Every structure is written in structure tokens, then in C-alpha cells.
Structure 1
Amino acid sequence: MIERLEAQMRAMQMLSKTQDITADNLANINTPGFKGNKVFYQMVKEQVDGKEVTRTVPMQQVDMTQGVLEATDNKFDFAIKGEGFFMVEGQNGRQLTRDGRFSIDTDGYLVDGNGGRVIGNSGPINMPDYIKASGRNNKSAEIEVATDGTIRIDEEVFDKIMTVEVKDTSRLERQGSNYFAVREEQLVEDHSSSIMQGYYEKGNVNPLNEMVDMMKTVKMFESQQRAIRTTDEMLSQATSKLGQF
């Protein structure tokens, strides 16, 4: 009877974790470049009171499904079509992101919304020439970024935005501010993705699917609650009858 209660409690904890993941996906529906979490369940073995028991635990993996590309006509907005990532350098070192809404800071660096410097073939991309040319002869310098990431300023090659792929996306670790981290040995140069200038990628969360999943989880949680109450009543009755002898 006690083992049944423990199993039902673990099931409720698992469902609670699943609900947290779904809630996080829904909270980031409007976050550019956001990649939702897919939930799956894995059987694990562990030692409990000297006995080997098997239980199911919820696991999460980044859903790399392509998000919709939204046109902005902003020459510093970039979207990746494919499974690559931009690499940026901030206070916590180099991290990965799919959010390509960039700008030029006061020092001439191409940066993301958090001030992280976007990495190119030569390191952090710095465009002092672009800044100087912006007011020359009342004509702004023209910046174009090809689908392979090559940056041209006034038709001259300047640098190339680096994109990388992750060998095993299940090893991606979510960081704050829509960043990801992964061990360096998991990174490879990205040759299959395309960079789209003047676009940004919307989050890939489908709100309808997430709401359906949330309702299913609630129903299963309520079912486990009823099962626990039933088990508790049976245990109480058994204890009461034993007390009569």
C-alpha cells in the first residue's frame, strides 16, 4: 500500500515538472528566436533502501523546428534558416543564440539585444569604418549580408558572421536571455544554414499544441490525486480494522 502511494506521488511530481516545461514554452511564445522544449520520458534505475527500483522521469530537449521568418526591413536584423546558431560573446563568455536582432554599439561592435558581441571569422565583429562612413557626403554606407554570412560594406568584403551547428542538440543547456551553452567539442562549422538579412525568426512554440498538452497534464494530475485519496482511504480502513484486534 505504501509503495502504491510512493508511486502515485512520483507520478504527480513528474506531471508537475511536465507542466512547468509547458508553461515556460507558453511564456516565450513572443520571444524572437525562442526554441521550445519537447518533453519525453525516460526510464531510470536507482537504489532505494537497498533495492533497485525503476521509475519514469520527464526529460526535456530543445525543439529545433524552424520558426516563421518575419520581414522587418531592418538591415541589422538577421534570421537563420536551418539549424545553425549565432555565437555571441558577453560577460559569461561565448554563447549561442537564434535571436538575430542586432545593432551597432558606440564602439562600432555588432551586438545583440543584451550587448553581447556577435562573433565573425576574425572574432567580435567591429565596424568602425561603417560608423565613420555613415555621415560622409550625407550618404550612409551600404551594408549587405549574404546568405552565407559574408558582410559587404559598400560592396567590399568586410567580414563574415559565424554560424555553428551542434552535433547533438540534446546536450544544449539553456541559459538566461535566450542563450544556449554547450561543450566546445559539440560545435561544428555550419555549412547548411542560410542567413536572411532584414528578417527575424519568431519563436517556434505552437500555442494550441501547448494548451492541449497542458489540459492533458491537468487531467492526469487530477486522476493521480483521486488515486491517492482512494489509496489513503483504503490504508485508513485497513489500519482501523487492525486496531480492533
Structure 2
Amino acid sequence: MIRGWYTGASGMTAQQNRLDVISNNLANVDTTGFKRDTAVSKNFSELLIRRTRNDGVYKTPFGSADAAPIIGKLGLGVETNEAFTDFSQGSYKETTSTTDMALSGKGFFTVLTPQGERYTRNGNFMIGKEGLLETKEGYPVLGEKGTIYVADTRFFVDKDGIIYDSEDMREIERFKTVRFENERYLKKQGSSLYYETDISGPAYIAEGEQRPVFLQGFVETSNVNVVNEMVRMIEVNRAYEANQKTVQAQDSMMSVLWSKTASLRG
């Protein structure tokens, strides 16, 4: 019975973690470039149950062996394994602003932060006081030669991410767009920023067919589907209540057992 408490409690904890992830997805449904997370759970090792009767053991010249048939398996609970980020493409929203960029395909913009280079799908940029192209948080956007200096909004970006001066079509810079071997293992830092891990591998410049297409005057919306997230929230609430009732049932049975034991001893 005590095992039943732990099994039910582990299920409640896992559902609470799922609810936290879903709530964060819904809170960022209007965040540019946001990628939804999914809580991934795994079960504890299962216990193999066998019948323990005398006829389940047979004699051999070397001793005895267990011939009892398998009754089944007993689940020992569940735990949250990871929060998996879904990097599927979001839809596009037209802004007509020359400083806004969207990527069509896999890849990330590179920005410079106090912690080093970070990566984002949020192309909602602006021009800073010094004429640098920056994020809304004030982090400079990087080109392949360094920070991008555009001075004003009179610039043009082609599909390959090359920035030109609109007046004389002089090439200014090329966006530093990167890819990863295992992008699903990138970690979120906040403000739509990601950083690499040992498992994701280092960032490398996206070239050729691996390079995404640039869309100037557009931003990528989040890939959160509100209806799907609300359905998942209902599923989580029901699963949480089911585990809660399991714990309550186990508690009732243990209470009866204790009361019966106390009455027999009395």
C-alpha cells in the first residue's frame, strides 16, 4: 500500500510538471519566435510478479527451479525525463518594418550577450543609438564579420541574408546564421535565446541548402497551437485527479488496516 502512495504521488508530480510546461507555452503564444516545449516522462523499472505457490517449483537432479507462470507487471511510478523543445516552423506575420526578419527553414540568428554568443529565432530587431542592429533587449545582432552597423532603416536584405545599402546597393554585411547537429538539445536562456550544449554540438555557419531563406519585413510567430494546448491541459487535469484518487484510496485502505490491527491487539 505504501508503494501505491509513492506511485500515485509520482504521477501527480509528473502531471504538475506537464501543467507548468503547458502554462508556459500558453503564456508565450504571442511571443515572436517562441518554440513550444513538451514534457517527456518515463516510467520507473517495472516489477515482474510471479505466482508463489508450492506447485510452482519442480525438482531437478541439481536442486529446484521456478515454474510459476507470470502473473503480470506492476508499475512503480513515473518521472519527468526532460522538457523537449519543438523547433517546427511557426507562421509569418507581416510588419513592413525593414528591421524585422524571419527565417524560413532551420537555423538561428546569432546575437552577442554578456554571457557570449546566443541564438534566436526572434527577428524582431531594432536600430540602436550607435546605428547597430540590436534585439529588443539591446543585444547586438552579429554578422559574419562582427556586429552589424546599418545607421538607418534604408537597407535591403536578400534571401541569403546579405545586407545592402538601399541607395547604392553596396554590400554591408551578411547575417551570421548557424545550425547545430542536434538542435533539440539546445537550452533556453530566456528572452527567446538559446545556448549550445555538449550534446547539441557547436554552432556552425549555415551554407548552401542548409541556410534558411530570409524574409525582410516579416517576423515568425510562435508555433503554439492554443486549442491543442488547452486540450492537453484538460488531459493533465484529469490525469492529476486520477492519481489523486489513487493516493486517497491507498490512504483509506491503510487507515482500515491500522484500525483493524489496533482492534485485534486490543
Question: What TM-score, normalized to structure 2?
Answer: 0.81
How far off its partner does 1:54 sit? 6.5
Report the number of matched residues: 227
1:40 Cα offset (Å): 2.2
Q: State the alpha-carbon separation in 2 of the partners of residues 81 and 213 from structure 1.
A: 28
The reply to whether residue 88 of structure 1 matches residue 111 of structure 2 is: yes
Cα distance 1:44–1:229, how it changes in 2: closer, same or farther (>3 A)? closer
1:6 Cα shift? 0.7
Does the C-alpha gap of structure 1 residues 196 and 224 become closer, same or farther in structure 2, counting only changes over 3 Å?
Answer: same
CA RMSD of aligned residues (A): 1.7
Is 2:164 aligned against 1:152? yes
Whether the 8 Å CA contact 1:79–1:200 is kept in 2: the answer is yes
CA contact (8 A) 1:78 1:101 kept: yes
Alignment partner of 2:133 out of 110, 115, 118: 110
Give the equivalent residue in structure 1 for 2:32. Answer: 32
Structure 1 residue 62 displacement after superposition: 1.0
Residues in 2 aligned to 1:218 and 1:117: alpha-carbon distance in whole angstroms: 42
CA contact (8 A) 2:87 2:184 kept: no
Q: What's 2:98 paired with?
A: 75
1:218 to 211, 232, 237: 237
How far apart are 1:231 and its partner, in Å? 0.7
Aligned to 1:171: 185
Whole-Å separation in 1 of the counterparts to 2:254 and 2:44 = 28
- From 104, 116, 120, give the equivalent of 2:143: 120
- Decide whether the 8 Å contact of 2:132 with 2:149 is kept in 1: yes
Map of 1:20 onto structure 2: 20
In the alignment, structure 2 segments of 5+ residues that lack a partner are: 46-74
Mark the runs of 5 or more structure 1 residues left unpaired by the alignment.
Answer: 46-52, 132-140
CA distance in 1: counterparts of 2:219 and 2:112, whole angstroms:
20
Please say which structure displays the higher CA radius of gyration: 2
TM-score, scaled to structure 1: 0.87
